Amino acid sequence: MAKYDINDPTDLDIMRAQFDMISRDEWEEYIELAEDRKIGYKNVNILRSASRKAGISKYLSNKVLVWVIDLVDKLDEYDESEEE
């Protein structure tokens, strides 16, 4: 999992590009996985909020963007560990 700096414009551009590549269907899968993993009410809600803004990262604050990308990375790690 990459560590991003909220104050680095390059890191923000990378995170925005990653966010914009996630489709609405993929967001639904992340939300389901988050609910199954019981990662917390606030985390699930921020994923739902992010799913409504799929493809338009410019409407997310930097802090929310970092939070969402971090959650996505953690959920991907959970998913990969289940497959092994």
Total domains present in the chain? 1
Find how far residue 77's CA is from the centre of its chain: 12
Position 54 in a domain: yes
List CB contacts of 67: < 8 A, sequence separation 6 or more. 46
Position 3 in a domain: no
Across 34-58, average pLDDT: 90
How much is the pLDDT for 76?
87
Query: Residues 50-74: pLDDT tens digits?
Result: 999 888 888 889 999 999 999 999 8
How much is the pLDDT for 17?
93
Query: Domain limits at 76?
Result: 9-83
| pTM, 2 dp | 0.84
| CB of 79 closer than 8 Å to CB of 29 | no
Position 1 in a domain: no
Q: Which parts of the chain fold into alpha helices (H)? A: 9-21, 24-37, 41-52, 62-83
Position 23 in a domain: yes
Query: Residues 11-35: pLDDT tens digits?
Result: 889 999 999 999 999 999 999 999 8
How much is the pLDDT for 77?
84
The 8 Å CB, 24+ separation contacts for 11-15 are 12/62, 12/65, 15/57, 15/65, 15/66, 15/69
